[in-house]
């Protein structure tokens, strides 16, 4: 397969591009955001265009802007790649203009989410053709039950069309009038790591007046085809099964405190945690001070988020 990779300007200079098992992966380190509170990066995720997402890198040293483009349908691959590369460049600009460090960040600094019911496509037919049963909602979107194992929480995705042609598939994991700082810190670490663990899926934290909502989502910039929707719903099913119960638990202050302590950062529970606090050296040093001869915990990098 021959692909045209239409990157220009800053994206062409900074982005790493690779093909990995049928996916094009775009990646840019966000070195200027190592001091940005992680929960604020989750907030920014909700406003990035297309498949772009902010994740925590496995090395803990800095957040990364990532996009994963599936190549399983070769019929329109050049068009899809060109569109996604353009959205990735827009995402880079949005992240760059969103402020760094402890500077104030508001949702108005990023492009506001334009996803709402009212798209031209028949969402119920789209879900059916993708192999998923959908129930119409009063607002015009579709509710789709996800496929998770066991007798635990049953998750339902919301499929909503953009009036200009895009589609967002999202699952609410938790919502509250106010999350404690400790919970925001724990969720920032856990969910940004989770965003890097599942193809296409990103975690987001956004205001849905009068409440805040923690969600997993896949955002398509154009009308999605059935294979693409099946990709999204399957990925969200796995992500919810793995991360859903844990993320809900981290909304409780006590659980969030234990999670932070397990990562060697008990002294930061009264401050916003950023990527600079999570470097391997800092974690290892703090674990050693607490008497852990093994340094960082065994699942802090290669296991669960």
CATH for 9-99+115-253, options being 3.10.129.10, 2.30.30.100, 3.30.70.100, 3.30.1460.10 = 3.30.1460.10
pLDDT digits (tens, 9 = 90+) for 19-45: 888 888 888 888 888 888 999 999 999
Task: Name the 3-class secondary structure at 262.
Answer: helix
Q: What's the confidence (pLDDT) of residue 136? A: 94
Q: What integer is the mean pLDDT of 38-55?
A: 91
Cis amide bond preceding 250, omega within 30 = no
Task: Name the 3-class secondary structure at 277.
Answer: helix
Q: What is the dihedral of CA 43, 187, 273, 65, to 10 degrees?
A: -50
Contact 23, 68 (CB under 8 A): yes
Contact 39, 272 (CB under 8 A): yes
Structure confidence at residue 298 as a pLDDT band (50, 70, 90): very low
The size of the chain, in residues, is 305
Q: What are phi and psi of 25, to 5 degrees?
A: -115, 125
Q: What is the dihedral of CA 86, 89, 94, 97, to 10 degrees?
A: -140
pLDDT exceeds cutoff 90 at 13 = no
Q: What angle do CA 220, 25, 50 make, to 5 degrees?
A: 20
DSSP state of 180: -
Structure confidence at residue 10 as a pLDDT band (50, 70, 90): low
pLDDT digits (tens, 9 = 90+) for 79-99: 777 788 888 888 888 888 876
Structure confidence at residue 155 as a pLDDT band (50, 70, 90): very high
Taking residue 183's Cβ as centre, other Cβ atoms within 10 Å add up to 26
Q: What integer is the mean pLDDT of 143-151?
A: 86
- pTM of the predicted model, to two decimals? 0.80
């Amino acid at each position: 397969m021959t692909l045209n990779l239409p990157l220009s300007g800053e994206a062409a200079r900074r982005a790493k591009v690779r093909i990995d098992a049928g996916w094009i992966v775009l990646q840019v380190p966000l070195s200027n955001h190592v001091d940005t509170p992680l929960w604020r990066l989750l907030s920014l995720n909700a406003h990035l265009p297309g498949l772009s997402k902010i994740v925590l890198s496995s090395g803990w040293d800095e957040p990364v802007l990532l996009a994963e483009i599936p190549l399983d349908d070769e019929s329109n691959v050049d068009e899809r790649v060109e569109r996604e590369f353009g959205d990735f460049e827009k995402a880079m600009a949005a992240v760059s203009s969103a402020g760094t460090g402890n500077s104030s960040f508001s949702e108005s600094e990023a492009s506001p989410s334009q996803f709402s019911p009212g798209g031209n496509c028949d969402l119920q037919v789209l879900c059916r053709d993708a192999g998923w049963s959908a129930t119409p909602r009063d607002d015009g979107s579709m509710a789709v039950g996800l496929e998770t194992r066991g007798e635990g929480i049953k998750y339902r995705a919301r499929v909503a069309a953009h009036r200009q042609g895009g589609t967002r598939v999202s699952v609410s994991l938790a919502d509250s009038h106010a999350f404690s700082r400790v919970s925001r810190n724990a969720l920032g670490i856990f969910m940004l790591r989770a965003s890097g663990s599942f193809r296409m899926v990103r975690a987001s934290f956004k205001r849905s007046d009068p409440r805040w909502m923690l969600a997993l989502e896949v955002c398509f910039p154009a009308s999605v085809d059935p294979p693409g929707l099946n990709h999204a719903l399957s990925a969200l099913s796995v992500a919810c099964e793995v991360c859903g119960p844990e993320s809900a638990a981290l909304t409780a202050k006590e659980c969030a405190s234990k999670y932070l302590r397990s990562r060697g950062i008990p002294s930061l529970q009264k401050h916003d945690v950023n990527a600079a606090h999570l470097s391997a050296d800092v974690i290892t040093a703090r674990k050693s001070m607490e008497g852990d001869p093994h340094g960082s915990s065994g699942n802090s990098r290669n296991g669960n988020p």
